[in-house]
């Protein structure tokens, strides 16, 4: 069993913000597989076959609580999860899959690392940058995508369907080699 986890904030006012990229990407994955979410683990949650889908309702800074609860319930290891989230330090339209690393200033990832006790877990970072020099990063990531950016993020979500399938079936190394780089 493996888990795909999208990070974001649950309130409607955050729906189309850069910081909700994980939720937006997951929406496309869920639509493609005709998956309806319920609620469990203080999250929006679904199980289909041997894949678990999780969108924490805990807000970004407490995402690790929901992830740990899911991992404990299903007895998942840190190698069984793929976390999808925004990265403002990466150029817009870029995928970067990683096996581990620091939190890189992302409080959702920081929370997961702190709660599960390791920085070794697979990640799909979605580039939403660069941050304009005249805007603080927190203001930038909480700002809405413009219409064209939102359409492109949704297109990236359709490509992410293949990323998840490759990750699940061939592993992170294969997925990195196939998808890391500029997508849109």
Do 126 and 59 contact (CB within 8 A), yes or no? Answer: no
CB atoms within 10 A of CB 111: 24
CA distance 100 to 123: 7
Q: Give, as one character, the DSSP assignment of residue 132.
A: P
Give the residue among 37, 35, 68, 29 at the shortest CA–CA distance from 49: 35
Do 129 and 92 contact (CB within 8 A), yes or no? Answer: yes
Please give the angle made by the CA atoms of 158, 162 and 166, to the nearest 5 degrees.
Answer: 160
19 is catalytic: yes
Report CA torsion sign: 101, 60, 107, 128.
positive
Determine which one of 18, 19, 110, 123 is catalytic: 19
CA distance 164 to 161: 5
Give the residues across from 46 on adjacent strands. 53
Catalytic residues: 19
């Amino acid at each position: 069993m493996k888990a795909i986890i999208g990070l974001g904030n649950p309130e409607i006012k955050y729906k189309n913000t850069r910081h909700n990229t994980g939720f937006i990407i997951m929406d496309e994955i869920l639509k493609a597989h005709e998956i309806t979410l319920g609620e469990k683990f203080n999250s929006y949650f679904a199980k289909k076959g041997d894949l678990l889908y999780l969108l924490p309702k805990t807000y970004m800074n407490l995402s690790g609580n929901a992830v740990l609860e899911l991992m404990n319930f299903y007895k998942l290891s840190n190698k069984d999860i793929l976390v999808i989230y925004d990265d403002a330090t990466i150029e817009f339209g870029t995928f970067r899959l990683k096996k581990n690393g620091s939190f890189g200033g992302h409080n959702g990832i920081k929370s997961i690392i702190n709660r599960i006790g390791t920085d070794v877990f697979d990640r799909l970072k979605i580039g939403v940058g660069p941050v304009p020099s005249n805007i603080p990063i927190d203001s930038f990531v909480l700002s809405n995508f413009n219409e064209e950016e939102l359409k492109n993020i949704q297109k990236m979500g359709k490509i992410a369907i293949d990323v998840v399938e490759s990750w699940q079936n061939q592993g992170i190394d294969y997925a990195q080699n196939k998808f890391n780089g500029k997508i849109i």
